[in-house]
Structure 1
Amino acid sequence: MILAAASSDIDFDWIDGVRGEDVLEKVLPPAASMENVKIGNIGSWRAHMNAMAKSVHNSFEIFALSSRSLIQPLTFGKSKYADPTYPSPHGVTASPPDLKFDALPSTIRPLSSPYGDGWDVLWLGHCGMNFPDTEPADTAEKSKNLPKGRVVHLNDETVPEPRYLKMHAEYEDTLEMYPPHSRIVHHAMGSICSLVYAVTQASARRILYNIGIKSFEAPFDLLLRDHCQGSEVRSYHPCLTVQPQLFNHHRPAGKKSSESDISDHGTGYREKPITKFIRWSVRMNLERYLNGKEGYEDQFPDGVELGVLK
């Protein structure tokens, strides 16, 4: 990761991972225990809470790594926001028209960040998302608290062809309604995997309380999902995401059992490394970059059959 960051001109601070075995059971929030939460999930939760605590302690305004048109007030017009379902989506019977990335409306200059004001989480790396929508009925129910607006970036050459965008089964058809090479920004729903996300000082405090103190009953990514979209015990907070994701797991060649300390990835052997959904992956081009070769190699070139990606 240090080599990849240096090769990308990214500067970051390390926050140590935590072994679940090293966390005392008596410090876990209700209703967590060593019996009902996997030991790997406990370590992951503790590490994420340490990151939130560092953000709060050091008064970072934005921590971790948009389209601000979904949440930033307009500079003119009858409506205050470009998305008429924001900030109150209740009673909406149809999703609003998509906002085109190349023709975004003018919004007021943000005060707190270049990504806009008023967001809690920018969820930029994940394993799958759903679009908030008014149909079908089950989707409408899950997204009843969520604004429905989307920003669509057409002809984004960094997005692979649809055949290489196969996610978990429940997200399989998410992007099929859009032309190839489309990237969509929307409010987060049904999120899994907290690979890369950004928080603000205010949202770090809320997450530290809601997930670090109030209750801990599921893996961290699912708790962050509930923090964003709301649940029976957690209220809604505005979280923006992008599909396909901008960051993803890199899977190196070697034993698959090394790919996670939380879930079982099997005992098989991966013959070739891969970073799914990322065309010009830094990690996949690291050797090329370090040897001074120009240009990045495209993992998923258009019109080339690469077979089944595993």
Structure 2
Amino acid sequence: MPERTDKRDMIALAASLSGIRFQWEDGVDASKVPEKAIPESWNREESNGTYGCWRVHMNIAQRIAAEQIASALVLEDDADWDVNIKNQLVEFARGTRYILDQERQATHSPYGDGWDILWVGHCGARNIEDVDQRYWVIRDDPTAVPQSLWGYPRRQPNLTPPQLNGTFNRVIYGPRRGLCTWGYAISLQGARRLLEDQELEQALPSDRALNRLCYVGGGCLAPYPPLIGTHRAAGSSDRDSDRGDAGGKYRKVGETGQIVFSTKLNLKQLIPIGEDTVVKSQWPDKTLLKEIKGTLEIPRGEGVYVRKDEYKDFPRPS
């Protein structure tokens, strides 16, 4: 929202320190949206905050379609990322090209062609367990949190096949049942599909809309653990979101789930940019490295093929 200058200050600083240029897309006050503009299929029991969130994502898709933008990365206003994000994305691109079987082709996008959504920031996304498929596995990645720190158990992927298993692995795959829209890339084709689906089929809250797009048409790829997380600043939890009241709990220290070397949690160290900048892990006793100087070279991943009969039972809470 334009009035959330606190969030704008924070993400502008974090993006500047990461060498990321971006444009704002103003949040939408749903109470000011005329009834005629709300899709017939929208569930009127959803809150104004949920509708406003959905509408701004649709505004972005509308802009991409209208301006013929090849692809765009969409970040929530409380997004956070690892200080190694650009090196992570290089390796992520190797993985997406492998899964799309385009690693030896010339493509328009460095991530390969033909995808709709790259769901790089989610709070959980299952994998497909009933088909034979390709995965890209980055082993012993110091920017990957161990499974003990994964969130949302109901949405965790089944990584029981030996080729996928490993404490500090990051896996790239075709997601199912994704949750949260902390960060995702959408292509021109994806934006067109999203606009058509939400207008002519059924309008759904933002992450559910993306999930159906992935489920119905494929064309979606994701990393697990994710590359973009959500930052919760120190102070009252009521400041976290404009969608609703979070209960007013007080947080002594800020946090970002599943991001090891958080940019927003290391702002003070990052401002005097240099090779000797020390960045600390959020969980020094649980991650591969306690701290780093500068940025890391992400280990080279490898492509693996998993047959549907190689998955073991992976019970999730109901």
* Pairing 1:218–2:212 present: no
CA contact (8 A) 1:72 1:110 kept: no
Counterpart for residue 108 of structure 1: 104
CA pair 221-237 structure 1, distance change in 2 beyond 3 A: same
1:233-284 Cα distance to aligned partner (Å, 9 max, x none): xxx2310000000000001011112212225432211111011111111101
Q: After the TM superposition, which of the residue ranges 213-222 and 280-289 deviates more from structure 2?
A: 213-222
Displacement after TM superposition at 1:7 (Å) = 0.2
Which of residues 164, 178, 187 in structure 1 aligns to 2:149? 164
Counterpart for residue 183 of structure 1: 170
Displacement after TM superposition at 1:216 (Å) = 4.1
**In structure 2, what is the Cα distance between the partners aligned to 1:217 and 1:206?**
13
Which residue identity does 2:149 align to in structure 1?
A: Y
Alignment of 1:224-303 (within 5 A): 224-230=210-216, 236-291=217-272, 294-303=277-286
1:196-234 Cα distance to aligned partner (Å, 9 max, x none): 1111112211112212x224443111111011112xxxx
CA pair 254-175 structure 1, distance change in 2 beyond 3 A: farther
Q: After the TM superposition, which of the residue ranges 64-73 and 123-132 deviates more from structure 2?
A: 64-73
CA contact (8 A) 2:138 2:169 kept: yes
**In structure 1, what is the Cα distance between the partners aligned to 2:186 and 2:244?**
25
Which residue identity does 1:114 align to in structure 2?
A: P
CA contact (8 A) 1:30 1:215 kept: no
**In structure 2, what is the Cα distance between the partners aligned to 1:205 and 1:192?**
21
* Pairing 1:69–2:92 present: no
Q: Which has the higher strand share?
A: 2
Displacement after TM superposition at 1:163 (Å) = 2.2
After TM superposition, the runs of 4+ consecutive aligned structure 1 residues lying more than 3 A away are: 171-177
**In structure 1, what is the Cα distance between the partners aligned to 2:241 and 2:133?**
34
CA contact (8 A) 1:120 1:203 kept: yes
Displacement after TM superposition at 1:19 (Å) = 1.3
Counterpart for residue 77 of structure 1: none
Counterpart for residue 196 of structure 1: 183
Relative contact order: is structure 1 or structure 2 higher (C-alpha 8 Å, sep ≥ 6)? 2
CA contact (8 A) 1:160 1:277 kept: yes
CA contact (8 A) 1:55 1:204 kept: yes
Displacement after TM superposition at 1:185 (Å) = 0.3
Which of residues 19, 25, 49 in structure 2 aligns to 1:9? 19
Counterpart for residue 56 of structure 1: 65
Q: TM-score, normalised by structure 2?
A: 0.74
CA contact (8 A) 2:125 2:156 kept: no
Which residue identity does 1:247 align to in structure 2?
A: I
Aligned residues: 253
Counterpart for residue 129 of structure 1: 125
**In structure 2, what is the Cα distance between the partners aligned to 1:241 and 1:227?**
14
**In structure 2, what is the Cα distance between the partners aligned to 1:37 and 1:114?**
38
What secondary structure sits across from 2:62 in the alignment?
Answer: helix
Counterpart for residue 308 of structure 2: none
**In structure 1, what is the Cα distance between the partners aligned to 2:160 and 2:262?**
23
Identity of aligned residues (%): 29
Which residue identity does 1:295 align to in structure 2?
A: V
**In structure 1, what is the Cα distance between the partners aligned to 2:136 and 2:236?**
39
**In structure 2, what is the Cα distance between the partners aligned to 1:115 and 1:170?**
28
CA contact (8 A) 2:127 2:158 kept: yes
CA contact (8 A) 2:255 2:265 kept: yes
CA contact (8 A) 2:125 2:157 kept: no
